[in-house]
Amino acid sequence: MREITYSQALNEALRICMTEDERVVLLGEDIGCYGGIFQVTKDLQTEFGPDRVVDTPISEAGFVGASVGAALTGMRPVTEIMFIDFTTVCMDMIINQMAKMHYMFGGKGKVPMVLRVNIGAGRGTAAQHSQSFHSIFMHVPGLCVAAPSTPYDAKGLLIEAVKNDNPVIFVEHKRLYNTRGMVPEESYRIPFGRAEVKRTGKDVTVFATHALVLSALEAAEEAARDGIDVEVIDPRTLAPLDKDTLIASVKKTGRLLVADEDNKTCGVAAEVSAIVAEDAIEYLKAPILRNCSPDTPVPFSPPLEKSFMFGKDRLLESVRRLMAYA
């Protein structure tokens, strides 16, 4: 184990998968000598050559569709979309082709591919480079959706994503790329559908995703000073979703805060809240609260963007509101 960044952990996962399996190829814009916009594919083209690490034209429908065709015929492509915002131009390939082929073909064709995307505001890049609409993919049957919050999870989930026979939307987070954490050097897989309790507590469950897991842990430390014992659950994959861990935690604490950076309406937090309302409402001592991004496009002006975003303080405030219910 040594400390590396989230982006280095992803890079290491790709290197391991490419070394172990010749069927693994990388496609994406500027992933070659440029190393990818967030340096996740740094040096891989030098190491594995331009045939396996392919700089594609700006042609998302073309190269995502080509990844589907390659996956269907024996390859394991890992394809980068520079920002989740750009998946909109290849949504047919994702939703109608990649996600549905296995089902439409009666289980005959597998599409073992990974589509890497990233979310998160805070870089002054406005409404088309900062979105967090990962919930859309959670909505589509046939897709797995991974959501790593730490370098350790990033590596283990990406290796699992590449080796998994299902199409995976691998949702990274811009503000996490440079965060550091302990990561084993060897290969390891984190199975999909298993949440991790990142902190145990008995008073409030905070179900948080991506960067908000870190915010939730900070909020939990502060709350502890007031004697509030917060449990933090990181789903790690949104599809499949580990409902058992969620429900078990809510049954214990009776209070739920869901924190997710997608817009509030119809997002991850709405779904998680509904699950708890359906399956464990009798255990709740307080209403379910959601901390999400506002239902607006991401604004450009720095004060507006700052106000659009939220973290530890908002979560702490919500935790305290939940504790106000006896």
Catalytic residues: 129
Tokens of 326: 């006896």
User: Are the CB atoms for 6 and 177 separated by under 8 Å?
Assistant: yes
Among 19, 59, 128, 307, binds another protein (CB under 8 A): 59
- Residue 241 as a binder of another protein (CB under 8 A): the answer is yes
Q: Which of 10, 16, 17, 70 binds another protein (CB under 8 A)?
A: 70
Q: Is 276 left (phi over 0), alpha (psi -120 to 50) or beta?
A: alpha
Candidates 68, 81, 171, 204; binder of another protein (CB under 8 A) is 68
- Binders of another protein among residues 85 to 144 (CB under 8 A) are 92-93, 96-97, 101-112, 141-142, 144
Q: Which is nearer to another protein, 58 or 281 (CB)?
A: 58
How far is Cα 131 from Cα 119, in angstroms, rounded to an integer?
A: 6
Contact between 51 and another protein per CB under 8 A: yes
Q: Is 65 a binder of another protein (CB under 8 A)? A: yes
The dihedrals phi and psi of 183, each to the nearest 5 degrees, come to -140, 130
Residue 34: DSSP 8-state: T
Q: Which helix (H) or strand (E) holds 303?
A: helix 302-308
Using alpha carbons, list the distances in angstroms from residue 122 to 44, 117, 150, 308. 28, 16, 19, 9
Nearest to 135 by CA among 324, 289, 272: 272
CA dihedral of 223, 224, 230, 231, whole degrees rounded to 10 = 140
Site membership for another protein, residue 253 (CB under 8 A): no
Asked if 62 interacts with another protein (CB under 8 A), we say yes
> Least CB distance from residue 66 to another protein, whole Å?
4
Task: List the one residue from 192, 207, 308, 310 that touches another protein (CB under 8 A).
Answer: 192
44 binds another protein (CB under 8 A): no
**Residue 75 lies near another protein (rule: CB under 8 A):** yes
Q: Which stretch binds another protein (CB under 8 A): 33-41, 46-54, 221-229, 260-268?
A: 46-54
Which amino acid is located at 304 in the chain?
L
Q: Is 31 in the site for another protein (CB under 8 A)?
A: no
Strand ranges, E, within 85-200: 114-119, 144-146, 168-173, 180-183, 196-199
- Taking the least distance from each CB to another protein, the nearer of 243 and 312 is 243
Closer CB to another protein, 7 or 67, in the complex: 67
Nearest approach in angstroms of CB 169 to another protein is 13
Residue from the set 26, 31, 40, 71 that interacts with another protein by CB under 8 A = 71
The answer to the question of residue 67 lying near another protein (CB under 8 A) is yes
**Distance of alpha carbon 18 from its chain centroid, rounded?**
22
Instruction: Between 16 and 64, name the residue whose CB sits nearer to another protein.
Output: 64
Strand blocks (E) in 15-121:
24-28, 53-55, 76-80, 114-119
Instruction: Please name which of 83, 98, 84 lies closest in space to residue 133, comparing C-alpha atoms.
Output: 84
Residues that bind another protein (CB under 8 A): 23, 25, 51-52, 54, 56-57, 59, 61-75, 77, 92-93, 96-97, 101-112, 141-142, 144, 164-166, 192-193, 239-241
